[in-house]
Structure 1
Amino acid sequence: MSDDPKTLVSTGWLAEHLKDPDLRVLDASWYLPDMGRDAKAEYAESHIPGARFFDIDEISDLRSDLPHMAPPPEKFISRMRAMGVGDGHQIVIYDGAGMFSAARVWWLFRLMGKTDVAVLDGGFPKWRAEGHPVEDMPPILRDRHITVQRQAALVNDVTQVAAAAKLGDHEIVDARSPARFRGEEAEPRPGLRSGHIPGSKNVHYRTVLNDDGTMKDTAGIRAAFAAADVDLSKPVITTCGSGVTAAILFLALDRIGHLDHSLYDGSWAEWGMYPDLKVETG
């Protein structure tokens, strides 16, 4: 894998740069309830030296009924300043699953106009397996100024996705498991219908990853999209259960140089809730 501080860096790259004064490392671990893991407790016990904990559920739009929707820019600014993350920093984000929720926070920084941000390839499991240092001390935080410029083109709401589904001018790509996509397995969130957005294609997020939680090379990523019959000459909207694993596909599209892709923030948590929106199964 080639290191790119704007998308994905290796554990070796991070180990080499860990003491850089302008590096900021974020632990963005987040788990579904059925995973039985406590991200905050795990962070308190052990994390990459200097890492700050990024709470996906708290640094979100709490006015929304939907889970962890992107926060308003003002809230993002205040949380990042308090965490000592700001302008001029190279940010590296990881999670405790290898590659699960880190890409969501990477996308969030991109949404806010920050581009010197990368996901740690293989995450904390790979870092630990290779014997790199860990600590249990919280970092010393100093306020840091941060400017943001929200990039509206990187996010979609339900109206835009419904229009895209109707017109067929975008590829809507769903990162959920094939069984959930086909409507054969119940959704983890109660009260949601089963199935998928009409006309959407299924690229399970794991198909762009290797067994060790690292991202496949560009040929492997392209093959995963090709296997699902995704036309990459079209703009792509990524979606999933609640906008977390959709960001893995967004990152994968960035890695292969795809130029026009966005993320449906409400994802199935929103689409599956409204009876007037059509659902396909099978």
Structure 2
Amino acid sequence: MPDLGSNEVVEPDEAGTDLVVVTGLSGGGRSTVARALENVGFYVVDNLPQALMLEMAELAFAAGGAARRTAMVLDVRSRAFSTDLAGAVRALKERGFSPRVVFVDADDEVLIRRFESVRRSHPLQGDGRLADGIAAERKLLEEARDQADVIIDTSHLNVNQLRRRVEELFGGEDSRKLRITVLSFGFKYGLPPDADYVLDARFLPNPFWVPELREHTGLEEGVSSYVLGQEGATDFVSTYAQLIAATAPGFEREGKRYLTVAIGCTGGKHRSVAIAEELTSRLSGMRLSAHTSHRDLGRE
């Protein structure tokens, strides 16, 4: 291990230092994200003041070994020292590091329910209401959210689903390649806020109106064959697979590491699920790193 007390300046090696910065709204699931990152081999530093991020990154690089994969988790307590997350991330980049910023978000109503279920007040609510604290924190984090590499909306995710999402994003394959999440959803439950592309599968006939298919899902052969057998379905998948494959190298050159392609139908049970599975298969066949996630499957 290098001597941390020496005067020698160690230049960061971007290819060998993997830094993740986790921030987001209180109650959004940062602790679950931190545990999931530990599960895939990251050294996790919780409640790190933003002013110490550069120092922590340099220590991680100098230490080598397992510390080369370090995640720094920031919350309102760490922001007591500084609120300039954007400046701290910029300082890391100027020093030669390539931090990935993960922002954990959730709907206000969901956050309120979570705080009420554990009978805790929001760190920023003071003498006001829970909603006041959430609004104040959301305002404080606007710039951080805008600059995040990946936004994980946990409104409709349980703990295990959130853990799997993090492990899919940060475990196993080369974490510096563009990783594509093909996300099925139901329009009646709202648009995914973290989507880069939104595709609409509602032009296809709905299996809901076929009695023998209604209770089944797009993961099952009968529904999948019905959806993909409709006129225009395979052309729809092929067209978007080619578009994503054509743009992926440009996204990688620009430093984007996560791409979310959201495919919606009415309820997120039949058409969008089948199309998402087929699109993921096509992208994987093009040697792109793609996986599926079904946000609303099972909600009906």
Classify the TM-score, shorter chain.
under 0.3
Q: Determine which structure has the larger strand proportion and give its number.
A: 2
Between Structure 1 and Structure 2, whose CA radius of gyration is higher?
A: 2
